[in-house]
Structure 1
Amino acid sequence: MTGSPDLAAVAALIGDRTRAKILLALLDGGPLAASSLAERAKVSAPLASAHLRKLTAGGLLAVQPLGRQRFYRLSGQAVADAIEALLLVAPRVPARSFREASENAALRRGRMCHDHIGGRTGVTLTRGLLDGRFLEHRGPVLHVTPRGARAFGRLEIDVAELARRRRPLTRSCVDWSEQSHHLGGSLGATLASEFLRRGWLHTSEASRVVSVSERGREVLAENFRLHACGKG
């Protein structure tokens, strides 16, 4: 017989501060090596390994051995969604240093939310696509308009091909820092990956922070009439 979901078990896994840091580090889609996760969580390698075993056994992480190292990532979009949802209701902790405050501000400006763009940059992009009628709301669902399909096509993003995939084409993802929504789904992920591949979006090696390059802003202005995305 199928029982009811054990929410307490998942809460106990996420509720540990070290494990929470590991999960947050993997919100950019990963994967990351155990050594990198230990560094980001600011714990020893043996302690990080113990936490990683618990998170993997609990179904929150997936592991991929590669040579002598083991790389970890979130086990799926549902885990990323759950973490983002919890961030909406989590209390804000004052920054303990100027460096931490600067990092927090950078994350709010722009970050990878699993495999798509979040933060102010992601929200501004999504609002601009809606205002320009490249996307439209039909009830709670985002749809790509014919105008949008043509614009994405100019960036060599085939909306029709993405729509045939099992993953939803678009998804309105709740943004914890902006208290709004940004574009997820296969379209949001493809936009992010294409911008990264072409150097229009820059990432930080040590965190989830992303920023739109000068050329990226030009591309957004030329194709979507977005002039404020990625600024400030």
Structure 2
Amino acid sequence: MGNYNSHYENYYSMLSEKKNINKNAGYYNNTKTKEKPKSSFIVRRVIQELTGCLCLFVVLTSCKYINTPKTQQFYRYSKELVNKNYDFKNIYNSITSKSIETWRNDAENYIDKVKSKLTGTQGIKEKTMGNFANPVEGKIVKKYGESKEGIPHKMEKGIVMEVKVPSEVKSSFQGTVKSVGEDKEVGQYVLISHEDGLETKYSALEEIAVSENQKITKGEVIGKITSDIQDSKGYVFFQLLYMGEEKNPEEYIQFKTE
């Protein structure tokens, strides 16, 4: 596969060749519009808020008197949230001290926990942490979001794992091969779609053993890292996506350390 540094640098040199987004595309509509009275906006907003409260009241009241395990669980949990004492000053300080990305991730985690508690099912991280396997036997040499000289931060959304060669690359979980391709900088890759909006991507492969739309089982070999040089090392670039967005694989999968 070649030297790690050269391969690693080749991958990230792709970033500098990315086309810049044309911020000046389109045009601005300078047509003046007639402003609506501020009072009408306030009235509409009050009506919207009251409607929302009424809908919530109807849902909670229905759950209280509809005697099923899930409705009772939803009612108890909602009552617990309402009765809980919140320190709004600490909440405000916590929100303002975090980056937008961190705040968004925390919000997603909270929503996932609430959904899990209300439905009685496992959350996304609970499912992956207990079921998704390591794609290769090796160690992580570049972590998600790790800063390196000359590498744009926004493109550092994945991990690099060092492996002995030859090595097999295996699917972390069952799913369907969404796409197979080759990039001039990162080499060959396989993208697998799993359930619940999860996807895993395996790049820098030297051999691919699967095809598009193929059903894959957990631990099935999808590619290989090979080399003609004895005792050399290879590298796999691994990414995990949830609802189309890159996530830190180490927050979803328990990686083994050597």
Q: Which structure is higher in RCO with an 8 Å CA cutoff and minimum separation 6? A: 2
- TM-score over 0.5 for the alignment? no
TM-score after normalising by structure 2: 0.21
Question: Which of the two has greater strand per residue?
Answer: 2
- From the CA coordinates, give the structure whose radius of gyration is larger: 2
